[in-house]
Structure 1
Amino acid sequence: MYPDSIPFLLTHAVCLAALWTGVTLEALVLCVALYVIRMFGVTAGYHRYFSHRTFRTSRVGQFLLAFLAQTSAQRGVLWWAAKHRHHHRYSDTELDIHSPAQSGFWYAHVGWILARRNDTVDYADVPDLARYPELVWLDRLQYLPAALLGVACWLYAGWVGLVVGFFWSTVLLYHGTFMINSLAHVHGNQRYVTGDDSRNNWWLAILTLGEGWHNNHHAYQRSTRQGFRWYEVDPTYYALRAMSWLRLVWDLGEPPADVIRNERPLGRAVLEKVARQLAESFPAERIGAQVREALATHPRLDEIRRRAAEARANAAAALADVHLPHVPTFDEIRARAELMFAQTPSRDEIVARARELILEAVSAQLASPEPA
């Protein structure tokens, strides 16, 4: 633990002060109201506007959204947006700052917040936001909006208003937000192939005003609406739609029809990532050893080895007319893909690329010297 993590931990500890202040109905109503209002600040502000720019607003509206979001005590607006963009760039890879698959559930949920290496923000990662001096100023005073809200709660309802109304709702808000980083990459269903572990989770969507449709979001990040289907509840989108009628916000992004129907082919980067995941599900080293053993007395063994050595970059083409026992067929790889991934119009391309990668791995083993 280091000094900058102390306020976060103290926020949790102060919640126990309710043992002395008591809990009133007024304070509970304040807690729920502040949770909902500030969750909207996080989802509409931090996430859909500042991180993904899925809609537009005025410069004044932008500042007010940032101020509201920072009352959540989830650090500054530029810090939040920069970390979230980094997450999408490297989702569920070794570089992802909060991936359950890479770092474990609890680190993805809360541990990364306490890690010193995640404390700073490089404004070069958010140049579109850093050009506004008022946002830079607000980001540097990251806890000022939350502190002002805490004082307002105390003035309104006394110590019970501060402890239950402000601190309880703040901690609930922390973990509601954090569950998108942790649970929404572990529990739920995947409608789309995204190359990561993002999931759609209906009850998380209710708790987070629509953020639980996380697989939808990873499939098409430019959409303001994250509940793509009519039955996918998305209160943040409903509120933003109402605000658009008043011209407070405009140009709300919508998912294209082919995305909703899951008919859009995967981009090159996602296809490559998914194909590698599929290829790595087959034990290349064991397959290579089995192939080497099976071909030990093959009359064309020397030719096969020569081809493998000369064609590292295009093993599939070089070995196309060679029957390699134990190497999975296209149909076998496709069957594995159907088990591993959601439906996608790019499935055959994924399988073809995965087979190329498997052949490259086997080729590398065939070309290497035999173990002594």
Structure 2
Amino acid sequence: MIGAIHALALLALLPIYFNWTAVIVAIICARLFGLIGINIGYHRLLTHRGFKCPKWLEHGFVVIAICCAEDTPARWVAVHRRHHEKSDEQPDPHSPLAGFFWGHIGWLLVKNPDLSRLGIYDRYAKDILRDPFYLTLERHLWQLKIMLIQLNVFFFAGFLAELAMGGTWSEAVIFALSVVIWAVFVRTVFVWHQTWAVNSLTHMWGYRNYATDEDSRNNWFVGLWAHGEGWHNNHHADQRSARHGHRWWEFDTTYLTIRLLEKCGLAWDVVQPRNLKP
């Protein structure tokens, strides 16, 4: 699937599928889906329980995360919790100590028996599977179904929008396909590499605020690109904290979004850093 989606994203290079509307929609979706789905939904909420929110909102975050095609919630959480437990040791699923390519994408291309055993769910994601909603998402190809629903939503939204602007049926089809290519495939590839850069770059290059027992780093590039996820050394030093940017200049859009939810009464018990750096 990784190769196929990268290949489909390359269709964006064809002039027939280029238009600024599709590009702008893709940029907006890339920022929102990565921030809301992966950063807030999968990472700071499900994996680390850095805050609480209504169940309907939590499930909404997770559906958005599934649209990013980064695996089901229980498996994503299990792999990430294992990473924290065994960080930069041999059992770490994606330590870049085995090479940058391995830490970034290579680990996804090779079947890892340790991650394929059902026991990984019992050890690292039992709390997730207690929720019938998440248990259902592990079955019946729901990840694929949600992806197909997403494709149809973007296609028909683009198709109807072009018709409403006076375009012909053939122009509407071309425009709809351009929206799907940019807002689904290009956006998915962008969010993938945004997430993978946290696994690879922030364990190789950057500065350290805390003397943790692994090689996590705070990386400026990833910090800004991935909405605060790049302040990775801070995160490893205080995993439950919903705030990853610990110094005033470590801008953390994900945390600011959680604070906005808190102000609106949609988040509470937001976990703060235990030893905040001045």
How far is 1:135 from its partner? 0.9
Alignment match of 1:123 (pick from 121, 124, 145): 121
Q: Which residue of 2 aligns with 1:198?
A: 216
Q: Which residue of 2 aligns with 1:136?
A: 135
Q: Deviations over 1:77-105 (max 9, x none)?
A: 1110000000000000011010011x211
1:1-372 pair list within 5 angstroms? 7-18=1-12, 19=14, 21-40=16-35, 41-101=37-97, 103-117=98-112, 118=115, 122-124=120-122, 125-140=124-139, 141-157=142-158, 158-256=176-274, 259-261=275-277
How far is 1:66 from its partner? 1.1
- Matches of 1:119 and 1:35, distance apart in 2: 29
- Matches of 1:142 and 1:169, distance apart in 2: 17
TM-score by length of 1: 0.66
| Conserved 8 A contact 1:100-1:186 | yes
How far is 1:176 from its partner? 0.6
How far is 1:200 from its partner? 0.3
Larger Rg: 1
- Computed over aligned residues only, the root mean square deviation of the Cα atoms, in angstroms, reads 1.5
- Matches of 1:143 and 1:260, distance apart in 2: 41
Identity level (%): 34
How far is 1:206 from its partner? 1.0
How far is 1:147 from its partner? 2.6
- Matches of 1:38 and 1:146, distance apart in 2: 13
Residue 83 of structure 2 aligns to a residue whose secondary structure is: helix
Structure 2 spans left out of the alignment, 5+ residues: 159-175
TM-score by length of 2: 0.87
How far is 1:11 from its partner? 0.3
| Conserved 8 A contact 2:246-2:277 | no
| Conserved 8 A contact 2:74-2:125 | yes
How far is 1:22 from its partner? 2.3
| Conserved 8 A contact 1:71-1:143 | no
- Matches of 2:146 and 2:138, distance apart in 1: 10
- Number of aligned residues: 253
Q: Return structure 1 stretches of 4+ with deviation > 6 angstroms.
A: none
| Conserved 8 A contact 1:57-1:250 | yes
- Matches of 1:225 and 1:56, distance apart in 2: 14
Q: Which residue of 2 aligns with 1:4?
A: none
Name the aligned partner's letter for residue 72 of structure 2: G
| Conserved 8 A contact 1:76-1:143 | no
- Matches of 2:21 and 2:83, distance apart in 1: 38
- Matches of 2:144 and 2:104, distance apart in 1: 21
How far is 1:20 from its partner? 5.8
